[in-house]
């Protein structure tokens, strides 16, 4: 048996503790699979005295995580602290510069500095891997790097944030509104006290930008992601979606258009016939459409201790085996600086829900505003009278350009009979 792979773990929270547990519980199996033992030699976290449900009594404690990056008895540093800058970034940079391999679950760091860190790793001839950073336990990075590597990716999309999917699922099942379901999710520990990273789409956008880099051979470009969250989705829209044969999902989508790379995260109307419409609760899913393979879908748990530790340990076994592959599928210095396809150029169909004064002529004014932009209607739903005098009107359109839709909406919003800002959700066809 070869010498052990010596591991230093920075961060012993949900994920770090899971990795320690998994390595201990599956030690024999992993040394067989990795060709050598995987041995944790040192760990670091903020508070040494914190009670943790793991046995680290025989492992060195470093009060400064940076000590792991330079320790001569460590081969691979596992960064599980989090955050796009600060100590996590310094730790990864220093570890790579000191000749260590790095495994991380940190999507925020990769979204901001992925290309730079992959370049550094390659220059030093070291491995940088991050399976756990995207879709938790789903081995999607490996799939893009290995199983699907023969394909040109046509399109990629997925449910990349379990918190949003849980909230949307619960809203549909209970008919309750966003605020009430969010509060309940926070109480149950499915949503953070500050939920904005999740519900405003930022976390999904971090993951999408990493996936896009790996799928399209492009530099990671988080700034190029169009981001909208789920706060404006109402129980009423979820109900209308079902009536129209759709389910509302927060998706991250990426594809190459003739204008560049389009990356977008926003609520989508997904046809009920599409398998991804049925990924519910905290589950994640990623669909990759390749030119030779066709459509492939991966689903599983996108977060949590077990699934995330599973992905981190998969990367560690690769390091133990000495499998050195480009972090983003092609060598980092060959990653292309692709243009961002502007959202104004996005082509698609739309769902529009208006609250209008229930009086004659309103519908024809709304249809007139759409017709002016050559937007044709696919369907219209109008609900009966209400005491307030305002009624919902739901329109779905045929495919049009986003710029035209925005101009039409600006006109519609100015109509006296339109009571509040229109709710607009893009309709996807899969």
Ligand X SMILES: NC(=O)c1ccc[n+]([C@@H]2O[C@H](COP(=O)([O-])OP(=O)(O)OC[C@H]3O[C@@H](n4cnc5c(N)ncnc54)[C@H](OP(=O)(O)O)[C@@H]3O)[C@@H](O)[C@H]2O)c1
Task: Supply the residues annotated as catalytic.
Answer: 207
Sites for ligand X among residues 253-292 (CB under 6 A) = none
Shortest distance (Å) from residue 330 CB to ligand X: 24
- Other CB atoms closer than 10 Å to residue 416's CB: what's the count? 10
Q: By CB under 6 A, is residue 114 in contact with ligand X?
A: no
Query: What whole-number distance in Å separates Cα of residue 198 and Cα of residue 394?
Result: 28
Secondary structure letter of residue 121 according to DSSP: H
Q: By CB under 6 A, is residue 158 in contact with ligand X?
A: no
Shortest distance (Å) from residue 308 CB to ligand X: 4
Residue among 270 and 282 whose Cβ is closer to ligand X: 282
Secondary structure letter of residue 230 according to DSSP: S
| Interface stretch with ligand X, choices 41-49, 114-122, 365-373, 375-383 (CB under 6 A) | 41-49
Q: By CB under 6 A, is residue 186 in contact with ligand X?
A: no
Would you state the structure tokens that stand for residue 165, as one six-digit string?
């999917």
Residue among 210 and 425 whose Cβ is closer to ligand X: 210
Residue among 308 and 400 whose Cβ is closer to ligand X: 308
Q: By CB under 6 A, is residue 11 in contact with ligand X?
A: yes
Q: By CB under 6 A, is residue 56 in contact with ligand X?
A: no
How far CA 227 is from CA of 200, 224, 251, 377, in Å, comes to 8, 9, 10, 26
Count the site residues for ligand X by CB under 6 A: 25
Q: Phi/psi zone of residue 201: left (φ > 0), alpha (ψ -120 to 50 degrees), beta?
A: left
Sign of the C-alpha dihedral computed for residues 188, 192, 193 and 194 taken in this order: negative
Total residues found in the chain within this entry = 430
Would you state the structure tokens that stand for residue 242, as one six-digit string?
């079902």
Which of 4, 35, 82, 342 touches ligand X (CB under 6 A)? 82
Task: State the binding string over 300-339 for ligand X (x if CB under 6 A, else -).
Answer: ---xx---x-------------------------------
Which of 46, 152, 334, 406 touches ligand X (CB under 6 A)? 46
Query: What whole-number distance in Å separates Cα of residue 98 and Cα of residue 92?
Result: 10
How far CA 212 is from CA of 195, 206, 221, 224, 337, in Å, comes to 24, 10, 8, 11, 12
Shortest distance (Å) from residue 84 CB to ligand X: 9
Q: By CB under 6 A, is residue 136 in contact with ligand X?
A: yes
Which of 30, 100, 106, 409 touches ligand X (CB under 6 A)? 106
Shortest distance (Å) from residue 195 CB to ligand X: 14
State the Rg of the chain over Cα: 24
Which of 13, 35, 271, 342 touches ligand X (CB under 6 A)? 13
Q: By CB under 6 A, is residue 137 in contact with ligand X?
A: no
Task: State the binding string over 200-219 for ligand X (x if CB under 6 A, else -).
Answer: --------------------
135 within 8 A of 158, measured Cβ to Cβ: yes
Q: By CB under 6 A, is residue 129 in contact with ligand X?
A: no
Query: What whole-number distance in Å separates Cα of residue 209 and Cα of residue 405?
Result: 26
Shortest distance (Å) from residue 259 CB to ligand X: 31
Q: By CB under 6 A, is residue 132 in contact with ligand X?
A: yes
Give the residue closest to ligand X by C-beta.
Answer: 13
| Nearest to 173, CA basis, from 284, 277, 300, 280 | 280
Q: What is the phi/psi pair of residue 290, to 5°?
A: -110, 155
| Nearest to 428, CA basis, from 327, 236, 289, 322 | 289
Give burial (CB, 10 Å; 0-12/13-18/19+) of 47.
Answer: exposed
Would you state the structure tokens that stand for residue 157, as one six-digit string?
């999309």
Sites for ligand X among residues 400-419 (CB under 6 A) = none
Which of 87, 127, 167, 265 touches ligand X (CB under 6 A)? 87
| Interface stretch with ligand X, choices 78-86, 146-154, 229-237, 274-282 (CB under 6 A) | 78-86
How far CA 237 is from CA of 178, 355, 420, in Å, comes to 11, 12, 14
Shortest distance (Å) from residue 134 CB to ligand X: 8
| Interface stretch with ligand X, choices 45-53, 193-201, 225-233, 253-261 (CB under 6 A) | 45-53
Q: Are strands 377-382 and 347-357 parallel, antiparallel or unpaired?
A: unpaired
Sites for ligand X among residues 15-34 (CB under 6 A) = 15-16
Residues near ligand X (CB under 6 A): 11-16, 44-47, 50, 65, 80-82, 87, 105-107, 132-133, 136, 303-304, 308
């Amino acid at each position: 048996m070869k010498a052990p792979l010596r591991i230093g773990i920075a961060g012993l929270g949900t994920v770090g503790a899971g990795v320690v547990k998994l390595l201990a519980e599956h030690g024999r199996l992993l040394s067989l699979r990795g060709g050598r033992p995987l041995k944790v030699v040192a760990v670091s976290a903020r508070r040494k005295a914190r009670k943790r449900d793991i046995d680290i009594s025989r492992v060195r404690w470093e009060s400064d995580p940076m000590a792991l990056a330079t320790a001569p008895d460590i081969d691979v540093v596992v960064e599980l602290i989090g955050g796009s800058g600060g100590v996590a970034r310094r730790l990864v940079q220093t570890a790579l510069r000191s000749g260590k391999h790095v495994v991380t679950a940190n999507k925020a760091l990769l979204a901001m500095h992925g290309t730079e860190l992959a370049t550094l790793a390659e220059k030093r001839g070291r491995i940088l891997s991050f399976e756990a950073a995207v879709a938790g336990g789903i081995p999607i990075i490996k799939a893009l790097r290995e199983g699907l590597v023969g394909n040109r990716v046509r399109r990629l999309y997925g449910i990349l944030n379990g918190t949003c999917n849980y909230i949307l699922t619960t809203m549909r099942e209970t008919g309750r509104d966003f605020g009430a379901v969010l509060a309940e999710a926070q109480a149950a520990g499915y949503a953070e006290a500050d939920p904005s990273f999740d519900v405003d789409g930022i976390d999904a956008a971090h993951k999408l930008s990493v996936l896009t880099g790996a799928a399209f051979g492009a530099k990671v470009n988080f700034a190029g992601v169009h981001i909208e969250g789920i706060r404006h989705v109402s129980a009423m829209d979820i109900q209308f979606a079902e009536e129209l044969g759709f389910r509302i999902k927060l998706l991250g989508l990426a594809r190459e258009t003739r204008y560049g790379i389009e990356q977008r995260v926003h609520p989508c109307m997904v046809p009920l016939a599409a398998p991804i419409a049925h990924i519910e609760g905290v589950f994640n899913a990623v669909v990759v459409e390749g030119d030779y393979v066709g459509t492939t879908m991966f689903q599983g748990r996108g977060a949590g201790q077990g699934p995330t530790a599973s992905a981190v340990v998969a990367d560690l076994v690769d390091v133990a085996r000495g499998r050195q592959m480009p972090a983003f599928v092609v060598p980092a210095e060959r990653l292309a600086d692709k243009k961002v396809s502007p959202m104004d150029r996005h082509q698609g169909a739309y769902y529009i829900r208006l609250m209008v004064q229930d009086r004659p002529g309103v519908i024809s004014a709304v249809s007139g505003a759409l017709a002016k932009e050559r937007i044709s209607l696919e369907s219209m739903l109008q609900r009966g009278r209400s005491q307030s005098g305002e009624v919902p009107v739901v329109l779905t359109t045929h495919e049009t350009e986003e710029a035209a839709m925005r101009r039409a909406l600006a006109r519609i919003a100015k109509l006296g009979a339109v009571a509040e800002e229109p709710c607009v959700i893009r309709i996807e066809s899969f």
